[in-house]
Amino acid sequence: MPRPIYITTPIYYVNDRPHIGHAYTTIVADLLTRFYRLSDRDAYFVTGTDEHGSKVAEAAQQAGLSEIAFCDQTVETFKTAWENLSLSYDYFLRTTSNRHKQSVQKILEKLHTAKTENGEDVIYSDFYEGLYCTGCEKFITEKELVDGKCPHHKTKPEKLKEKNYFFRLSAFLPRIKELIESDEMQILPEERKREVLGLIGQELGDFSLSRERVKWGIPLPFDKNQSAYVWIDALSNYITAVGYGDDPDSFDKWWTKGEVIHLMAKDILKFHCLYWPAMLMAAGLELPDKMFLHGFFTVDGDKMSKTLGNQIDPNEMVAFYGADATRYLLLTQFPLGVDGDVQAKRFITQYNSDLANDLGNLVSRVIKMVLVNCGGKIPAPHKEIEGLDALMAQAEELAERSYAHIKHFRVTNAIGDAISLVRATNKFFNDRAPWKLVKEGKTDELGGILYACCEVIRIVSILLYPVMPGKMTEIRSVLSLDSASLTLANARTFFELVPGTKVKLDQPVFPRIKEEKEAKTGAPAPAEKEDDNLLDISEFGKVELRVAEVLKAEKVEGADRLLKLQIDIGSEKRQVVAGVAEHYSPDKIMGMKVVVVTNLKPATIRGVESRGMLLAAKKGKKLTLVTVADDIPAGAKIS
């Protein structure tokens, strides 16, 4: 028996809305699962949601709901999106489920008593010191502060020390490094492996695994005043989902003995490739076999982000292209593992070209001819046909090639091979010109050609099934094929179709999309502006703006983006530090009349004192300083 295979996606943060990034990972997982099942491997596919943490609690409060009610609601948006995409996970893990919470506590207990090789405790307590906002009920970083105050509550945070438990990551890194270098735990693609090894080379501190003040979380069994921090809680899902702590048989089958594959985008590399293996080692558990980190989508060149509002909603794509075509289009934009750009109009051309013109039209032209000329029944094969051997050979080796591709995560190659076969078949059909044979009454040869084409369609319907399960099932029903013959083994040989079997075709499998129809990537629907934080005029008045002339400018040593400026604000001269070095050279900014906030509290940045802030407009990578239209002396007040 081949090893069972266990495939995971990250669990998605419940505060997010599903976008094509989430969808992509999950589609890949679904594809792999379906493909391995075709090849007779037992496979298990888990996805889910990460639902704890102070941000979730905050969002729930704003929505006027209890935490769990809020989560129940938003989890549905993920489940619906996945259902729309025909994603058939075996288990949907919620970190708020009792099962997960109980098992995480068992993991924590285990870690609590665990020792490192040197006999040190894996978990130790220490103090975390930081700025704490009582309004937010959380620590905030210096960076988040506005004018020394919490941006949300406009209050000064207090310096606070809190007890935290830490995980002794450093003790495990040498061993992890060995395992990664030797590929016992494979990090893919190669460049990501290099990146992780590079990270190990840098100084990595131990990580904090608990929070004292976060109430919406899983309490530590050995200290009820603390709750588990995100890494422990979220990463553990991979084992709690298959029965760690409550179903030894399942856990043994999938985790301990199975081939474990974690799929994710490259942004969470550190946690998965270092924190997670360390936790598992400390708990004495098997490590995953493979981690595959895929790339990011950019949309028309820009990174997808909430703030840019260019996130693509998979539901909108599904509404427009259907689940199967959406899966196809997302998977084929770029090879798995690298970043790629997505352009709205490309989706339509590619849909029409690959799916409608090549595959859909092949089905139409072949089946219609069978319907009209062969009484709607699959004709008998005929071997003496020019070009048939080559076509057969290409079709018969497709399964093997695809399997090899999938094993190495070369998803686009596997799909590309199937489409190439479709093209070759269109060419074969064209070259043999069966419509001429109809007129000449050569029915044997005609039947042979049509039989061969049906065979290719059957084989393709198996190999593209993991990508487009719905449409391939549809195509298979055209040929009266059932699911029993939906196996990779069945795709390896020609002459599986039984002559005389009825065919039927109700409508085109992939109807062409008219170009005039607006290309929908789901992109913009710009987020509605919240107008509940309008300012009172008096509040605005607190900000003092003045025109200032830049007298002198120089780069700040050791910082790429900082310029140290001497400015004249009329009444006095001041020094400010501005993060504009990437856009303005010292020469260029010298002499400019800019707008400065003059009543900010002084701050020290990179060891340089700054007393004021320049105003600038920024969009994506573009940044331009705010200046004045006509000449006016430095010091002029702005209101």
Partner RNA sequence: GGCGGUGUAGCUCAGCUGGUUAGAGCAGCGGAAUCAUAAUCCGCGUGUCCGGGGUUCAAGUCCCUGCACCGCUACCA
Q: By CB under 7 A, is residue 407 in contact with RNA?
A: no
Residue 156 among the catalytic residues: no
Picking from 270, 262, 205, 217, the residue whose alpha carbon sits closest to that of residue 239 is 262
Active site annotation includes 153 = yes
Q: Which of 97, 170, 333, 490 binds RNA (CB under 7 A)?
A: 333
Burial of 112 (C-beta count, 10 Å sphere; 0-12/13-18/19+): middle
Residue 355 CB contacts under 8 Å (≥ 6 apart), including other chains: 325, 328, 510
Q: What is the number of other CB atoms lying within 10 angstroms of the CB of residue 420?
A: 13
Whole-number Å distance between alpha carbons of 475 and 275: 45
DSSP, res 255: I
The reply to whether 145 sits near RNA by the rule CB under 7 A is yes
How far apart are alpha carbons 251 and 233 in whole angstroms? 18
* Residue 135 beta carbon to RNA: minimum distance, rounded to whole angstroms: 17
Count residues near RNA (CB under 7 A): 78
User: Contact between 353 and RNA (CB under 7 A)?
Assistant: yes
How far is Cα 476 from Cα 469, in angstroms, rounded to an integer? 10
The residue range among 242-250, 273-281, 360-368, 587-595 that interacts with RNA, by the rule CB under 7 A, is 360-368
> Any idea how long the chain is?
639
What φ, ψ does residue 369 adopt, rounded to 5°? -70, -35
Does 365 engage in binding with RNA (CB under 7 A)? yes
CB of 109 to RNA, least distance (A): 32
Least separation in angstroms between CB 593 and RNA:
18
Write the interaction track for RNA spanning residues 576-605; mark x where CB under 7 A is met and - where it is not.
xxxxx-------------------xxxx-x
Q: Closest approach of Cβ 559 to RNA, in Å?
A: 3
- 382 catalytic? Reply is no
Verify whether residue 115 is a known catalytic residue: no
Interacting positions 265-304 with RNA (CB under 7 A): 266-267, 296, 303
Residue from the set 62, 98, 143, 526 that interacts with RNA by CB under 7 A: 143
SS3 472: helix
Interacting positions 416-475 with RNA (CB under 7 A): 423, 426-427, 429-431, 433-436
The interface with RNA within residues 482-511 (CB under 7 A) comprises: 508-511
Considering only residues 63 to 82 of the shown chain, the ones binding RNA according to CB under 7 A are none
Binding to RNA, residues 242-261 (CB under 7 A): none
Tell me the window of 23-31, 328-336, 458-466, 626-634 that interacts with RNA (CB under 7 A).
328-336
Q: Which one, 480 or 575, has the nearer CB to RNA?
A: 575
Q: How far is the CB of 410 from RNA (least distance, A)?
A: 8
405 tagged catalytic: no
Tokens found for residue 584: 């303005």
What angle, 0 to 180 degrees and rounded to 10, lies between the N-to-C axes of helices 314-321 and 20-38?
60
* Min dist. Cβ of residue 618 to RNA (A): 9
CB of 141 to RNA, least distance (A): 8
Of the candidates 22, 101, 253, 382, the residue annotated as catalytic is: 22
Find where tokens 């997302």 sit.
330
Site for RNA contains 562 (CB under 7 A): yes
* 52 annotated active-site: no
595 contacts 576 by C-beta, under 8 angstroms? no
Question: Where does 94-223 have alpha helices with state H?
Answer: 98-113, 173-181, 190-201
Among 112, 512, 520, 552, contact with RNA (rule: CB under 7 A): 512
Q: Which stretch binds RNA (CB under 7 A): 13-21, 142-150, 236-244, 494-502?
A: 142-150
Q: Does 309 bind RNA (CB under 7 A)?
A: no
CA distance 628 to 27: 52
Task: Region of 40 please: left (phi>0), alpha (psi -120 to 50) or beta.
Answer: left
411-432 vs 443-463: helix axis angle to the nearest 10?
170
Single residue of 2, 135, 148, 500 touching RNA by CB under 7 A = 148
Q: Which ranges in 39-153 belong to alpha helices (H)?
A: 54-62, 67-84, 98-113
Catalytic site includes residue 306: yes
Burial grade of 130 (CB within 10 A; 0-12, 13-18, 19 or more): middle
Bond preceding residue 189 cis, omega within 30 of 0: yes
Which of 136, 273, 374, 453 is flagged as catalytic? Answer: 136
Nearest to 411 by CA among 172, 189, 114, 634: 189
Footprint on residues 180-239 left by RNA (CB under 7 A)? 191-192, 194-195, 198-199, 202
Task: Please say which residue, 67 or 568, places its beta carbon nearer to RNA.
Answer: 568
621 interacts with RNA by CB under 7 A: yes
Give the binding range for RNA (CB under 7 A) out of 108-116, 152-160, 323-331, 333-341.
333-341
Q: Is 349 in the site for RNA (CB under 7 A)?
A: yes
Does residue 556 interact with RNA by CB under 7 A?
Answer: yes
603-632 residues labelled b (16+ CB within 10 A) or e (exposed): beeeeeebbbbbebeeeeeeeebeeeeeee
Note whether 540 binds RNA by CB under 7 A: no
**Closest distance to RNA from the beta carbon of 142 (Å):** 5
Of 154, 215, 257, 306, the active-site residue reads 306
Inter-axis angle of helices 20-38 and 323-332, nearest 10: 100
Q: Which residues are catalytic?
A: 19, 22, 133, 136, 150, 153, 303, 306
